Structure 1
Amino acid sequence: MGFGSLIPLLLLALVLGAAGGDVSGLISQELFNEMLKHRNDANCPGKGFYTYDAFITAAKSFAEFGVTGDTDTRKREIAAFLAQTSHETTGGWASAPDGPYAWGYCQLREQGNPGDYCVPNQQWPCAPGQKYYGRGPIQISYNYNYGPAGKAINSNLLSNPDAVATDPVISFKTALWFWTTPQSPKPSCHAVVTGQWQPSAADTAAGRVPGYGVITNIINGGIECGKGSNPQVEDRIGFYKRYCDLLKVGYGNNLDCYNQKPFA
């Protein structure tokens, strides 16, 4: 193949790249700062940790994140990811300055006095002296999550789980790993928000329909879903609506999981 015949292919690649790009084309540092407005508040344990550059760097390691589908779909994925992780790390309260949904990414580690979160697992055995409590944007927990997450991002998190709370790029990568990786029988959050997931007959019978609510079901359905209205789900929706508004995109349908049975 001569050089001249490569030109149309190169032009096509440039066009596709411009159409897709990475998430920085949809969320600037200024917008990121407005979304996570109080993440660097003096009272936030995560002050200074969750940076825009770390988010963008980590996102580029997951080729499908924020670049799948049309612009509205891409915006909704960014909004949904930041909303769910904001709930997991919130420092907000009902009467907080700028409202409770301006306080995502305040927490770095699980609050209280968590245990070691070590369970017997031959494939992902716990390292001596290490604890696998919640850390980072998704508050990744348990050795059976730290192990495969670390393998996927080329970091031995079983031996050093606190890297999720000391290296911001690794921290964001663990959250994006969870977001983009299906764990049977659950689909990935990415597949749901981009419309790639279609409910099975069992899903339909369980009330699990496409929409933001299924993402909540994936993340914490056993505690929050199928129990009617509750503050946790309302909080996740509140963050999502605020971020969609800032990104100037519609919310889509089925935002809650109040009547969804958890995944098995």
Structure 2
Amino acid sequence: MWFWLLSLFSLLSLLGATPMLIPSGGGGGGGDISSVISRDLFEQLLKHRNDAVCEGKGFYSYDAFVSAAKSFGAFGNTGDAVTRKREVAAFLAQTSHETTGGWPTAPDGPYAWGYCFVQEQGNPVDYCVPDQEWPCVPGKNNYNYGPAGRAIGVDLLNNPNAVAADQIISFKTALWFWMTPQSPKPSCHDVITGRWTPSDADKSAGRVPGYGVITNIINGGIECDKGSNLEADDRVGFYKRYCDIMGIGYGNNLDCSNQRPFA
């Protein structure tokens, strides 16, 4: 689970990744994501996020999403119309899994309840990993907040609570992770837009282009190369729902059940 999107950095620390910094623009041409996903479509995809039972009620707004995406020009602005929609669907699916409030018999199904939570549920892990350049602030779980904050122009290392308090910062931190390669991993953006070519080592490990590699990037050590499992299947469920609503195909290789995690 992310912290909502704090958990993106939580996963980075768990997997020992050292992301490469990219400019806040993220490359690409600066298009407006509203041309790919309208306000009405956003509401349809995340239809229960503002229900009274959701901790995140009122937090995840369409305007904040659009505003944050403008800082990453290539997001939802790479490739043809289908590819652009598929990237938005994949991003919302992965983040929806991490913030879901759904359950098997939930109204409209379990995949209509993305973005229900803001804080990590259960027993949060101490994600502080000692680092000379980015030392953890005492009492804060903030590994990777230093590089993430520097990339988006916010001092998250000393003020990690800003991610759960400011909706634009929350979206920006998630998009920063999405757009940033973590050697030997590609970026999620490059995978979903077809800009990633697997190496021979990737191919021998079963890592081939498709949505499943994104799950591998995010949480491969826990969810991949283990056959079907509820966590990975949930990510695929969200993705299929969003693609169906957006009227696009899923692409190939949706799961990572037979993929070895990245080293």
SS of the equivalent of 1:214 reads helix
Query: What corresponds to 1:208 in structure 2?
Result: 207
Give CA deviations for 1:206-245 in whole Å, capped at 9, x if unaligned: 0000000000000000000000011111110110011011
Query: What corresponds to 1:166 in structure 2?
Result: 165
Establish whether residue 114 from structure 1 lines up as the match of residue 124 from structure 2: yes
SS of the equivalent of 1:81 reads helix
Establish whether residue 48 from structure 1 lines up as the match of residue 48 from structure 2: no
Establish whether residue 84 from structure 1 lines up as the match of residue 67 from structure 2: no
Per the TM alignment, residue 184 of structure 1 is displaced from its structure 2 partner at its CA by 0.5
Correspondence for 1:30 among 31, 40, 43? 40
Correspondence for 1:104 among 94, 114, 128? 114
Query: What corresponds to 2:240 in structure 1?
Result: 241
More moved, 164-173 vs 146-155: 146-155
Per the TM alignment, residue 115 of structure 1 is displaced from its structure 2 partner at its CA by 4.1
> Could you tell me how far apart the structure 2 residues matched to 1:94 and 1:102 are?
11
Matches within 5 A, 1:217-232: 217-232=216-231
Question: How many pairs does the alignment contain?
Answer: 235
Tell me if structure 1 keeps the 8 A contact 2:31–2:73: no
Establish whether residue 124 from structure 1 lines up as the match of residue 134 from structure 2: yes
SS of the equivalent of 1:161 reads coil
**Aligned letter for 2:63?**
D
> Could you tell me how far apart the structure 2 residues matched to 1:124 and 1:26 are?
36
Tell me if structure 1 keeps the 8 A contact 2:31–2:70: no
Per the TM alignment, residue 22 of structure 1 is displaced from its structure 2 partner at its CA by 1.9
Per the TM alignment, residue 116 of structure 1 is displaced from its structure 2 partner at its CA by 3.6
Query: What corresponds to 2:257 in structure 1?
Result: 258
**Aligned letter for 1:204?**
K
> Could you tell me how far apart the structure 1 residues matched to 2:139 and 2:211 are?
38
Give CA deviations for 1:162-211 in whole Å, capped at 9, x if unaligned: 11100000000000000000011100000000000000000000000000
When Rg is computed on C-alpha atoms for both structures, the one with the higher figure is 1
Instruction: Name the TM-score, length of structure 2 as normaliser.
Output: 0.87
Query: What corresponds to 2:78 in structure 1?
Result: 68
Tell me if structure 1 keeps the 8 A contact 2:128–2:141: yes
Tell me if structure 1 keeps the 8 A contact 2:224–2:261: yes
**Aligned letter for 2:76?**
G
Per the TM alignment, residue 102 of structure 1 is displaced from its structure 2 partner at its CA by 0.2
Matches within 5 A, 1:133-212: 143=143, 145-212=144-211
Give CA deviations for 1:95-138 in whole Å, capped at 9, x if unaligned: 00000000000110111232442121111111123233xxxxxx
Give CA deviations for 1:133-156 in whole Å, capped at 9, x if unaligned: xxxxxxxxxx1x211111100111
Higher percent of residues as helix: 1
Tell me if structure 1 keeps the 8 A contact 2:119–2:164: yes
Query: What corresponds to 2:3 in structure 1?
Result: none
**Aligned letter for 1:232?**
E
> Could you tell me how far apart the structure 2 residues matched to 1:30 and 1:200 are?
40
Query: What corresponds to 2:25 in structure 1?
Result: none
The structure showing larger relative contact order (alpha-carbon pairs under 8 Å, at least 6 residues apart) is 2
**Aligned letter for 1:187?**
P
> Could you tell me how far apart the structure 2 residues matched to 1:124 and 1:218 are?
22
